[in-house]
Amino acid sequence: MASTTLYVSGTGPAKERTMFGVNFADGRIKGYGLKLHGHDKTFFVMMVRGELGYGVNEFTDNGNRTITDASTGLMWTQDDSGEAMSWEEALAWAVEANANNYLGYSDWRLPNVKELQILVDYSRSPDTTESAAIDPVFNVTAITNEAEQVDYPAYWSSTTHRNWTQEEGSHASYVNFGRAMGYMHGQWTDVHGAGAQRSDPKIGDAADFPQGNGPQGDAIRVLNYARLVRDAN
């Protein structure tokens, strides 16, 4: 399904003009090029009505390395995990944070994918703002991506991605706050855009996927970063 949100950068080697859409066949959010062989692509749409301010974040820096979003009632850690980890390690990191009363709280959790996706700032991207696609009130660890570019990580969600996997429950959803890399036409490139939501194996070895996976060669990292959340109330 098409959205009205255009990627502020572009996808593929040619930086093709790209729209974010939701694939209801596999539950992912990806950037889709608007042209195919020089012709406009067509998409299905769903209509919506209501207040235009839906989903607009209201962040407050609490001055203690936490960020509260009044629009959702959620409190986030200002810093991410600082290192890549498996999905199970990310879950364990939340448990450890609670055991240590991290930042004065003991009810942190790994966000579900809908909670995580609402952090995306689609007005930002590595190519256009030299930043992650998230409000600059958050601290984001820089990484080097598959194309040897300075980039920003994907964050794990707690949500198991059930579709399009050979083994039921083997993948978990993540959200790209940097480029959503893929291997196409013999090179690594941003195939789905900063702000895309995809999935990775919960366990495994990224070396088993030297040219990614799927039609767009989606990068398989296995080890991603994490950011914790709790209910602000």
132-187 residue pLDDT tens = 999 999 999 999 999 999 999 999 999 999 866 678 889 999 999 999 999 999 99
Q: Tens digits of per-residue pLDDT, 92-128?
A: 999 999 999 999 999 999 999 999 999 999 999 999 9
Which residues does 147 contact at the CB level (< 8 Å), separation at least 6? 181, 187, 188, 189
Q: Which domain holds residue 183?
A: 2-231
- Number of domains comprising the chain: 1
pLDDT confidence of residue 55: 84
What is the band of 47 on the pLDDT scale with cuts at 50, 70, 90? very high
The pair phi, psi for residue 158, each rounded to 5°, is -85, 0
What is the band of 228 on the pLDDT scale with cuts at 50, 70, 90? very high
In one-letter notation, the amino acid at residue 9 is: S
What is the band of 77 on the pLDDT scale with cuts at 50, 70, 90? very high
DSSP secondary structure string for all residues of 150-207 = EE--EEEEEEEE-SS-SSTT-EEEEEESS--EEEETTEEEESS-TT-EEEEESSS-GG
pLDDT confidence of residue 177: 98
pLDDT confidence of residue 167: 80
Query: Where do runs of H (alpha helix) occur along the chain?
Result: 87-99, 113-117, 126-129
Q: Which residues of 70-85 are buried (b: 16+ CB within 10 A; e: fewer)?
A: eebebbbbbbbbeebb
Give ∠ CA 31-160-56 in degrees, rounded to 5: 50
pLDDT confidence of residue 66: 98
pLDDT confidence of residue 163: 67
